Structure 1
Amino acid sequence: MAEHTRPAGVQSVGRALDIIELIDQAGGEMALVEISAASGLPMPTIHRLVRTLVDRNYLRQLPDRRYALGARLIPLGNAALDAFGSRSSSLLAEVVRRIGESANLAALDGDMLVYVGQAPAPRAMRMFTQLGQHVHPHCRAAGKALLAQLDDEQVRGILTRGGMPALTPATITDPDTFVDQLASVRAEGVAHEVGEMEEGVTCLALPVLGATSNLAVSISGPASRMTETLQQHAIPVLREAAEEIAVQLAG
């Protein structure tokens, strides 16, 4: 990783963070030689930095001597997502004002989807999402929007590890069918869910592109109100919100 592309700072800290980011981008685990090749750093330097990160539980060594992201990152990531969810509440509230249905902000946490922000619709019949709840991503629009940002091999790994339980008769439970649907999500830039998580509920989601936290913004409501006309109106509103969230993250 070229040093001149980074702003001035403490070199060893920057290199340690580079290693964590490289392992994350590689799917969560790498061998020392792979880290060295990807970073451009010599093996002795890599070994010293990795040893420090393992000692602090930011990385862990696997039985096959590869290195994976460590447990210390989980509470830090959750705290960061909680804080950002609070900061994004005004953006989600604006989505609700313009569309009239509940808005959510979600992220991938390992193989599961977690909701980190929500603004409920001002209606008697509305969708509620429990913040911090970890759910399967395959039957939710936000999960599809996020999984579509990964390659098919990574998606199949998540589906294999987490499973694809059927929550309704409409839930997709076949990995091949799901991967095929993600191709459409990538082409359209929008993910749909029609009665797959709960019968009679329709959801729409867009990814927060360019964000390092892998977020998606979504709306959900009763199918009777989530008409095609409303969804077409909602897409540019969600896209605008996603762009503003990405700007917040970059700042």
Structure 2
Amino acid sequence: MPPSHASTADSKPAGPSGGVQSLERAFDLLERMADAGGEVGLSELSASSGLPLPTIHRLMRTLVVCGYVRQQPNRRYALGPRLIRLGESASRLLGTWARPYLSRLVEETGETANMALLDGDEIVYVAQVPSKHSMRMFTEVGRRVLPHSTGVGKALLAHTPADEVRALLARTGMPAATEKTITTPEGFLDALEQVRRAGYAVDDNEQEIGVRCLAVSVPNSPTSAAISISGPAGRVTEAATERIVPILQQVAGELSDALASNGTNGG
């Protein structure tokens, strides 16, 4: 509940959304903090949001009291630990929302379908629907892998600036999962260029010998997300790729629309 001295401008409905303006502003500030790397000063928030400092100070003080923001010793503000619990729950829910779309992928492609997110420097799988074939791929939900050896990793990083990709690879290293794993930053950046050109990513025996994976990012997802199919290289051939990629892209677009309808304003 807002402090009793909050201005009417902060608490009145905000236009056609019918929302409470102070809530919309508070969540906007949290988003801006995340975009800035998780830690900002009040003046930075004021400059990026256009809100006056007293308004930002009041909103941030409320978020600090609630545990969603904490004030650092240097007086800057950082995202708080209570957001972790919300984020973990939301990631699980994202996987739940995705399952019907992954089931469609399995029906239309015959292969195992996955959804993965970029969590920090790692890929985490949040949902999977297995193929009905006796020979099929299986990735445990919750499994974490490094981006450089996966199709979903390439799909998720394809539009990330090259210097940020290099920094990530420097932090994680590029261990070889197989002899086909890309193990140099230049090689990985070349692969990302291919993803941008083709509109989809391929893991060709790079995570596991005998397995091919096709992946696309989910457009406009609230967090970086990708969906993929994976199967034996003997089934996921070049001919199969031409048939499967348009299905992947269509399902990704429909999933994007579904996630947006669960977001603000139902839009």
- Paired with 1:238 and 1:189, the residues of 2 have a C-alpha distance of 11
Tell whether the 8 Å contact from 1:164 to 1:173 is kept in structure 2 after alignment: yes
Kindly indicate whether residue 164 of structure 2 is the aligned counterpart of residue 166 of structure 1: no
Residues 27 and 154 in structure 1, CA contact (< 8 A), matched pair in contact too: no
Q: Offset of 1:70 from its aligned partner? A: 3.1
Deviation at 1:109, TM superposition (A): 1.6
Is the 2:14–2:20 Cα contact (8 Å) retained in structure 1? no
Give the superposition deviation at 1:83.
1.9
- 2:92 corresponds in structure 1 to 82
- In the alignment, what sits opposite 1:176? 186
Query: If you compute each CA radius of gyration, which structure gives the higher value, 1 or 2?
Result: 2
Residue type matched to 2:51 in 1? L
In the alignment, structure 1 residue 36 sits paired with structure 2 residue 46: yes
Q: Choose 127-136 or 62-71, whichever is displaced more.
A: 62-71
Alignment of 1:87-126 (within 5 A): 87-126=97-136
CA deviations over 1:137-168 (Å, ceiling 9, x no partner) = 22111111111232223323332333322211
CA distance, structure 1, for counterparts of residue 183 and residue 62 of structure 2? 42
Shift in Å at residue 78 of structure 1? 2.0
Note the residue ranges of structure 2 that are not aligned, 5 or more in a row.
Answer: 1-12, 262-267
State the secondary structure of the residue aligned to 2:125.
strand
- 1:82 aligned partner, one-letter code: R
> How far is the alpha carbon of 1:64 from its aligned partner?
5.9
State which of 47, 50, 57 in structure 1 corresponds to 2:57: 47
Q: Which runs of 5+ in 1 are unaligned?
A: none
1:33–1:247: structure 2 CA closer, same or farther, 3 Å change rule?
same
1:135/1:64 Cα in 2 relative to 1: closer, same or farther (>3 Å)?
A: farther
Q: What's the counterpart of residue 234 of structure 1?
A: 244
Matches within 5 A, 1:196-215: 196-215=206-225
Query: 2:204·2:213 contact (CA, 8 Å) conserved in 1?
Result: yes
1:193 aligned counterpart, secondary structure: strand
SS of equivalent residue, structure 2 residue 32: helix
User: How big is the shift at 1:32?
Assistant: 2.9
Tell me how far apart the structure 1 counterparts of residues 20 and 91 of structure 2 sit (CA, whole Å).
26
User: Which of 249, 253, 258 is the equivalent residue of 1:243?
Assistant: 253
Give the structure 1 partner of residue 8 of structure 2: none
Q: Taking structure 1 as the reference length, what is the TM-score of the superposition?
A: 0.89
Q: Percent identity?
A: 49
Which segment drifts farther, 133-142 or 53-62?
A: 53-62
In the aligned structure 2, how far is the partner of 1:31 from the partner of 1:77? Answer: 23
Give TM-score, length-normalised by structure 2: 0.84
Distance in 1 of aligned mates of 2:53 and 2:134: 61
Q: Over residues 41-81 of structure 1, what are the superposed CA-to-partner deviations in whole Å (9 max), with x where a residue is unaligned?
A: 12232233234334434234556655443332222122122
2:76 & 2:196 partners in 1: Cα distance? 31
Task: Tell which deviates more after alignment, 155-164 or 195-204.
Answer: 155-164
On the 8 A contact 1:190/1:205 being kept in 2, the answer is yes
Equivalent residues, number:
249
Change over 3 Å in CA distance of 1:162–1:26 after alignment to 2: same
Q: CA RMSD in A?
A: 2.3
